[in-house]
Every structure is written in C-alpha cells, then in structure tokens.
Amino acid sequence: NAGVTQTPKFQVLKTGQSMTLQCAQDMNHNSMYWYRQDPGMGLRLIYYSASEGTTDKGEVPNGYNVSRLNKREFSLRLESAAPSQTSVYFCASSVGTSGSNEQFFGPGTRLTVL
C-alpha cells in the first residue's frame, strides 16, 4: 500500500497563476483533509471531506477550492495564487468521521508563489 500520495512534491508559481494539488489514498478511508503548514504555526485545516460527495470548509478556506473526485481522490485548487499561499500543503485521510481516528498524512507539496 502506498498510503497517501501527493503530487507534485514541489511547485513554483507566479502570482495569479492557478494550479491543482492532487491527493490519493489507497486505504479505503472515508475522510480526507487538506492542511497548510507555515513556520511557527501548527497545521491549519483548509478543507475536509467527511465522506465521498461531501466537502466542508476548515479554518482557512479563502483562496482555495476542493473536489472529492471519488473515495480515493481529493484535490485542492488555487484559482489565483498569491504570495500568502506560499506554504507546505499536506493531504491526510482517516477511516471515518470520528475525531478519535488517526490521520495518515501524505509527504506534502512545497509551494512557492512569487
């Protein structure tokens, strides 16, 4: 099992460009998440999907959109990138909607917006 995979690993964008970060999991998990991690701050939840077909905003959703394409895949889209979106983005998944479930993280995407 690959667990949680993310592409790309690194990306440099210019302000105003758009891109989609891809995430897939092969653990048959119901819930998937997108976080961003900035220096000196904890991971912050951008969006999550409790189950296939549903998505909800997290703490910092502005400037992002998501798609739960199927049970395996959860993508994050930046429509018009801004320097403030320079960050490390982590995708995660968990078995179910219970908050007691362990989250499994992908290796991250390091995004720089110039």
Partner 1 sequence: RKEVEQDPGPFNVPEGATVAFNCTYSNSASQSFFWYRQDCRKEPKLLMSVYSSGNEDGRFTAQLNRASQYISLLIRDSKLSDSATYLCVVNENYGQNFVFGPGTRLSVLP
Beta pairing, strands 64-68 & 74-78: antiparallel
Under the binding rule (CB under 8 A), the answer on residue 56 touching partner 1 is yes
Closest CA to 11 of 64, 61, 85: 85
Under the binding rule (CB under 8 A), the answer on residue 60 touching partner 1 is no
Out of 11, 30, 45, 71, the only residue in the binding site for partner 1 (CB under 8 A) is 45
Closest CA to 106 of 71, 69, 75, 65: 75
At closest approach, how far in Å is the CB of 16 from partner 1?
28
At closest approach, how far in Å is the CB of 80 from partner 1?
27
Under the binding rule (CB under 8 A), the answer on residue 44 touching partner 1 is yes
Closest CA to 107 of 80, 89, 81, 86: 89
Give, in order, the Cα–Cα distances in Å from 24 to each of 18, 28, 79, 83.
20, 10, 21, 26
At closest approach, how far in Å is the CB of 107 from partner 1?
5
Record the tokens describing residue 21, joined without a space: 């970060």
Out of 24, 29, 33, 93, the only residue in the binding site for partner 1 (CB under 8 A) is 33
Binding site for partner 1 (CB under 8 A): 31, 33, 35, 40-45, 48, 50, 56, 58, 90, 97-100, 102-103, 105-108
